[in-house]
Structure 1
Amino acid sequence: MSRLRLILDPFLLLLIAMVVLASMVPAHGRGAQAVNIAADVGIVLLFFLHGAKLSREAIWNGARAWKLHLATLGTTFAAFPLLGLATQQIGALPATMRAGLLFLTLLPSTVQSSIAFTAIARGNVAAAVVSASFSNLLGIFLTPVLVALLMQGGGTAGMISLQSIEGIVLQLLLPFVVGHLMRPWIGGFVERHRTMLGRVDRTSILLIVYSAFSAAVVEGLWHKVSRAELALLTGVCVAMLIVVLLFSWALGRVLGFAREDAIVLQFCGSKKSLASGVPIAGVLFPASVVGPLILPLMLFHQIQLIACALLARHYGAEAEREEGTRNQEGSGEVNAV
């Protein structure tokens, strides 16, 4: 049942519901201003909680198994962005969709699903926790820098402004740092109420999505995007995921990683975080373009869950068969003696 939930992803269904709601009842006028203010507050709260959740031990442990963590970060923040740059040559997609494809490749890895899939696949769960956490931590700094470096053309020129940089500091970095510094006092509360605070995270993201798509619908989003473009966008997302899954697995083989570590590299290196991507987009880009900009991310998020769930089950079954074979061989040797 838990595996089925990973594939279906009820949270994504809620995100789709927010898109539908924004399409049918977009926020206008003062209502839009109120929603935007609430979304900004949600972003601050989201990153404050991220900082409070991350233990200092996890940060220091990131220095261990450096070869694996560097390979994962290299896949996430170097190889993936190269794919994103390649998609900018697809002229059949609107400029904002191409920008969205590039933006998703600049995001950090997911945390929860990366760890969950690594566990199902019988991989190195401890290393997955460190790699995914480190990716999210560095993403707060690296993603805005990569956006500033790589997204100044192709329909995104002028989107990154001094105001955007100010937003990064005030809405992302400062709350994260304050939350982490307050961890000695609030860490216990955060751990005890992790489920409840997870709902706060999700509610904040839903509010940001509603705000973003409301602004996009008011600007005529659904009159500018055709079904053919959505189908092509889906195909591009599938192709990108296949390429990065193959690349990450081949890189693990080249670097001589054990099977358990190669699984970490593949699952942590191939994921892109919706939870981080939506609020970062809300800070970096004008409200009118955030909706179409995160469409590729929402599609990719669901595709990666389905593909990685299938892969994780395959790896897990393979590990069980190998373990069963070793047990039979061991019992055979004992009987022979």
Structure 2
Amino acid sequence: MEKRLSALFDPFLIALIATVTTASLLPARGVGATIAGWAADGAILLLFFLHGAKLSRQAIVAGAAKWKLHLVVLATSFLFYPLLGLGAEQVALRIAPAMAAGLLYLSLLPSTVQSSIAFVSIAGGDVPAAIGAASLSSIVGIVATPLLAQVLMGAGGTSAEQAIDSILKIGCQLLLPFAAGHFARPWIGPYIARHKALVGRVDRGSILFLVYTVFSAAVVEGLWHRTDLHDLVAALAIGLVMLAIVLAVTLWLPRTLGWAREDEIVWRFCGSKKSLVAGVPLAAAIFPAPQVGMLLLPLMLFHQAQLMVCSVLAKKYAAGAARV
């Protein structure tokens, strides 16, 4: 029973809920909020440095021969999903306006890495291709997500000068530490490999601190006065519809095109997932802190839903009963 529960409920999500609860009851204010904001900027730098350091060049080129597969995964993540996000935003504006921007934001994010690869492995897909596709999505997302957020959500302003300032900020806060971490990998890679558990705790601890900071700012600005249970349920329902559409399309298209089962599995799992781990620091870097808490609520709900749905789907593939 314990194993089944841990498979369905991500322990990290439980930690996130506890962090949001703490921020709601004891938000950082005044000088504390200022210090937390500075520390949050440092946490973003650390996160992307570690992301770059953990990404091996073998992972980047893994499955590179399947470039068509990588392209369709990227197109699903950064073209098809955003189109669905625009539709979801319009629906949410009518039934849950507070969740509209968050639903659009989650549609702009890259795929997950670890969970996508794990599900592909369980389902019997092409694991090297999944490593390449998920890693490439993560890298492209550092640039694509902020640009899409600027175009579709007006993040960072709409004037040319504001756009340039936003791009420079993203470059300094995300791309430079990511590149620095990756180029430092020959020296720090062995340490990271030996201390994966410690690095993972630092990684997730930084994300939890970011969540506390942005939700504190949102709570001070009246987050829970603008959100109720109806909004959360509506966001979850709309997110599930988006996920169902992507899973249906990534089932129908590869079979229509005559793709191998192993490639179909990679497309479905890598193309349908959205990364909470990337979504938190990206939102904190792109948007003003008081806006971020509201933006992340739909993503947190979607994160748990996709894990549960994809877990069931992977097991069906493994059992040979997924062709429905």
TM range (shorter): over 0.9
Q: Residue 315 in 1 paired to residue 317 in 2?
A: yes
Q: Is the Cα–Cα contact under 8 Å of residues 108 and 138 in structure 1 kept in the other structure?
A: yes
Higher alpha-carbon deviation: 176-185 or 86-95: 86-95
Structure 1 Cα separation of the partners of residues 166 and 296 of structure 2: 17
Kindly tell me: are residues 201 and 78 of structure 1, through their superposed partners in 2, closer, same or farther at Cα, counting changes over 3 Å? same
Kindly tell me: are residues 97 and 161 of structure 1, through their superposed partners in 2, closer, same or farther at Cα, counting changes over 3 Å? farther
Q: Residue 158 in 1 paired to residue 157 in 2?
A: yes
Residue 228 (structure 1) aligns with: 230
Q: Is the Cα–Cα contact under 8 Å of residues 8 and 308 in structure 2 kept in the other structure?
A: yes
Q: Is the Cα–Cα contact under 8 Å of residues 168 and 283 in structure 1 kept in the other structure?
A: yes
Q: How does 1:113-152 map to 2 (within 5 A)?
A: 113-152=115-154
Higher alpha-carbon deviation: 14-23 or 95-104: 95-104
Structure 2 Cα separation of the partners of residues 215 and 144 of structure 1: 21
Kindly tell me: are residues 16 and 221 of structure 1, through their superposed partners in 2, closer, same or farther at Cα, counting changes over 3 Å? same
Q: Which amino acid aligns with 2:199?
A: L
Deviation (angstroms), 1:157: 7.9
Residue 23 (structure 1) aligns with: 24
Q: Which amino acid aligns with 1:76?
A: S
Deviation (angstroms), 1:95: 4.8
**Among 238, 242, 245, which residue is 2:244 paired with?**
242
Residue 69 (structure 1) aligns with: 70
Question: Please, which runs of 5 or more residues in structure 1 have no aligned partner?
Answer: 321-337
Kindly tell me: are residues 186 and 195 of structure 1, through their superposed partners in 2, closer, same or farther at Cα, counting changes over 3 Å? same
Structure 1 Cα separation of the partners of residues 291 and 87 of structure 2: 21
Q: Is the Cα–Cα contact under 8 Å of residues 62 and 134 in structure 1 kept in the other structure?
A: no
SS in 1 for 2:125: coil
Residue 268 (structure 1) aligns with: 270
SS in 2 for 1:109: coil
**1:110-134 CA-partner distances (Å, limit 9, x unpaired):** 0111011111111111111111111
Question: Please, which runs of 5 or more residues in structure 2 have no aligned partner?
Answer: none
Structure 1 Cα separation of the partners of residues 88 and 65 of structure 2: 35
Structure 1 Cα separation of the partners of residues 165 and 301 of structure 2: 29
Q: Is the Cα–Cα contact under 8 Å of residues 164 and 285 in structure 1 kept in the other structure?
A: no
**1:162-205 CA-partner distances (Å, limit 9, x unpaired):** 55333311110000011111111111111111221011110010
Deviation (angstroms), 1:38: 1.5
Structure 1 Cα separation of the partners of residues 207 and 39 of structure 2: 11
SS in 2 for 1:26: coil
Q: Which amino acid aligns with 2:39?
A: A
Give me the CA root mean square deviation. Answer: 1.9
Structure 1 Cα separation of the partners of residues 274 and 4 of structure 2: 19
Deviation (angstroms), 1:270: 0.3
Structure 2 Cα separation of the partners of residues 220 and 124 of structure 1: 47
Q: Is the Cα–Cα contact under 8 Å of residues 6 and 113 in structure 1 kept in the other structure?
A: no
Q: How does 1:1-337 map to 2 (within 5 A)?
A: 4-61=5-62, 63-90=64-91, 91-93=93-95, 95-152=97-154, 158=157, 163-318=165-320
SS in 2 for 1:88: helix
Kindly tell me: are residues 171 and 96 of structure 1, through their superposed partners in 2, closer, same or farther at Cα, counting changes over 3 Å? farther
Kindly tell me: are residues 178 and 157 of structure 1, through their superposed partners in 2, closer, same or farther at Cα, counting changes over 3 Å? closer
**1:256-313 CA-partner distances (Å, limit 9, x unpaired):** 2211110111000000000101000000000110000111111110000010001111
Q: Is the Cα–Cα contact under 8 Å of residues 150 and 157 in structure 2 kept in the other structure?
A: no
Q: Is the Cα–Cα contact under 8 Å of residues 3 and 309 in structure 1 kept in the other structure?
A: no
SS in 1 for 2:250: helix
User: What is the aligned-residue identity percentage?
Assistant: 55
Q: Which amino acid aligns with 2:53?
A: A
Structure 2 Cα separation of the partners of residues 137 and 294 of structure 1: 21
SS in 2 for 1:318: coil
For this pair of structures, how many residues does the alignment match? 317
Higher alpha-carbon deviation: 131-140 or 251-260: 251-260
Structure 2 Cα separation of the partners of residues 241 and 68 of structure 1: 19
TM-score (norm 2): 0.93
Deviation (angstroms), 1:158: 3.4
